[in-house]
């Protein structure tokens, strides 16, 4: 089984321009993501995909392999596919590592990589949600599963609703899971899903994975206990450092 890890790193973020280059405890965010990803045992190669020369030069300076992609990609998935084609090597699976989670654990990557089998179309991760406030946070995407741990639906709302119970007690009556945003794609499936047009559910929830579900693709969800936390805004930096207990 051959797997390439691709880290999308976009400079032109609407909420946080230049985010990959921000310094966190003496290193840029993208360098931290790359170094953690490179520690994973099951990846055969790791590259960074960016649309920006400043990010590319910075990454090359600390020894990373970089490919320059088009700036207009609507998602990290699309950027991953172009980067995979530009890379010039063939792999059976592509693992899309989130470029804004500087403290992700390499074991988290290996756990997802282990789900990559010949019949696995797409795989992603989930973590148990046993806290009322997190469960009702619309920034946290919840997953509805079938008995095979394949996603039926992703939502910013709480699904299912527990009839006859106080909302603050729902997490005590059902095993809720929230999404952890790494993906692994079989190479042929990645090519197919990047050709799909945005779907109604995707546009309603602003979640690209709903496009794949609507078109019948199977998304295997792998449970993890690692909560690496993403950085979306400048205010998130100190919060994530505190949550991860980084010295």
Q: What is the DSSP string of 162-231?
A: -TTS-GGGGGGTS--EEEEEEEEEEHHHHHHHTTSPPPHHHHHHT-THHHHHHTT--EEEEE--------
So what's the pLDDT on residue 45? Answer: 97
**What's the whole-number mean pLDDT along residues 115-126?**
95
- 107: pLDDT strictly greater than 90: yes
The residue length of the chain stands at 247
**What's the whole-number mean pLDDT along residues 127-136?**
94
Secondary element (H or E) of residue 140: none
> What digits encode the pLDDT tens for the residues 47-103?
999 999 999 999 999 999 999 999 888 888 999 999 999 998 999 999 999 998 888
Count helices and strands in the chain by DSSP H and E runs: 9, 11
Burial grade of 11 (CB within 10 A; 0-12, 13-18, 19 or more): middle
Main-chain dihedrals φ then ψ at residue 186, nearest 5 degrees: -65, 140
Name the token pair of 158. Answer: 């709480």
The candidate with the shortest Cα–Cα distance to 110, out of 38, 32, 199, 175, is: 38
- 233: pLDDT strictly greater than 80: no
- 212: pLDDT strictly greater than 70: yes
Instruction: Give the Cα separation of 116 and 135 in Å (integer).
Output: 28
So what's the pLDDT on residue 47? Answer: 97
**What's the whole-number mean pLDDT along residues 149-170?**
96
Helix, strand, or coil here: 37? Answer: helix
- Is domain 3-243 in CATH 1.10.540.10, yes or no? no
């Amino acid at each position: 089984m051959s797997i390439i890890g691709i880290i999308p790193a976009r400079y032109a973020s609407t909420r946080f321009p230049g985010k990959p280059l921000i310094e966190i405890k003496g290193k840029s965010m993208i360098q931290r993501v790359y170094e953690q990803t490179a520690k994973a045992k099951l990846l055969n190669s790791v590259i960074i995909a960016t649309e920006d020369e400043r990010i590319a030069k910075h990454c090359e300076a600390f020894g990373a392999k970089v490919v320059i992609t088009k700036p207009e990609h609507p998602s990290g998935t699309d950027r991953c596919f172009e980067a995979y084609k530009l890379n010039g090597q063939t792999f059976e699976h592509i693992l899309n590592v989130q470029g804004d989670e500087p403290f992700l654990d390499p074991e988290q990557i290996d756990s997802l990589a282990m789900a990559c089998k010949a019949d696995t179309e797409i795989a992603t991760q989930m973590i148990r949600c046993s806290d009322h406030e997190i469960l009702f946070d619309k920034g946290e995407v919840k997953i509805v599963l079938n008995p095979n741990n394949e996603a039926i639906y992703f939502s910013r709302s709480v699904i299912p609703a527990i009839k006859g119970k106080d909302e603050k007690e729902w997490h005590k009556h059902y095993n809720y899971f929230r999404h952890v945003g790494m993906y692994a794609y079989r190479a042929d499936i990645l090519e197919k899903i990047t050709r799909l047009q945005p779907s109604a559910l995707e546009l309603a929830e602003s979640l690209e994975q709903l496009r794949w579900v609507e078109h019948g693709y199977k998304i295997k969800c792998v449970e993890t206990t690692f909560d690496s936390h993403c950085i979306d805004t400048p205010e998130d930096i100190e919060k994530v450092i505190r949550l991860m207990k980084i010295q």
